[in-house]
Amino acid sequence: MSNEATLSVGRVAQRCGIKVSTLHFYEQKGLIKSWRNQGNQRRYRPDVLRRISVIKAAQKLGITLEEIKTTLATLPDNRTPTIQDWQQISQSWHQMLNQRIRQLENLRDSLGSCIGCGCLSLTKCPLYNPDDKLAQEGPGPVILNEKSRGQGC
């Protein structure tokens, strides 16, 4: 790596508009990689700037770090996404985001009344669940989950 251009932690943080601690966090989570020079200082390849940009953009879209890590792990040799890679990644994320948008729209449209959370606190709830009969359907907001998948009320 000594023949390759390298960037210090401070330089990467400055260029990406993030804190040094964020870089360390991303590295701890396996999202980026660094190496140590002879002085035991952490160094990054310049392509880490693009990788961090992808991570930041995905986070702004509501994609979790675990989802980002899973996606980036599909790239050979932990490389930065190419144009072709990005087309596949963006298509996958596009589908996931559309599903989340539908879920949020359903939740938004139900906020004035029952949202299907199963709390049993509303006596006039159209989705009232007497005697907790929905417990056998699974944990959490069963009706809300069905509505977000296009089923239910």
The CATH code of the domain that includes 19 is 1.10.1660.10
Is 29 contained in some domain?
yes
Q: How many CB atoms lie within 10 A of CB 115?
A: 20
Average pLDDT over residues 91-102: 91
Q: For the chain, where are the alpha helices, taking DSSP H only?
A: 9-16, 20-28, 48-60, 65-72, 83-110, 142-148
Residue 153 has what pLDDT?
43
Residue 5 has what pLDDT?
76
Number of domains in the chain: 1
**Owner of token pair 């056998």:** 136
Q: 148 or 36: which carries more pLDDT confidence?
A: 36
User: What average pLDDT is seen over the chain?
Assistant: 82
User: Are the beta carbons of 63 and 96 closer than 8 angstroms?
Assistant: yes
Is 115 contained in some domain?
no
Backbone angles phi, psi at 145, to 5 degrees: -65, -40
Residue 152 has what pLDDT?
44
- Residue range(s) defining the domain that contains residue 15: 7-80
**39 pLDDT exceeds 90?**
yes
Q: Would you call 18 helix, strand, or coil by DSSP?
A: coil
Is 19 contained in some domain?
yes
- Give pTM, 2 decimals: 0.68
User: Are the beta carbons of 148 and 106 closer than 8 angstroms?
Assistant: yes
Is 60 contained in some domain?
yes
Is 114 contained in some domain?
no
pLDDT-above-90 percentage for the chain: 46
Is 98 contained in some domain?
no
User: Are the beta carbons of 116 and 142 closer than 8 angstroms?
Assistant: yes
Is 135 contained in some domain?
no
Is 15 contained in some domain?
yes
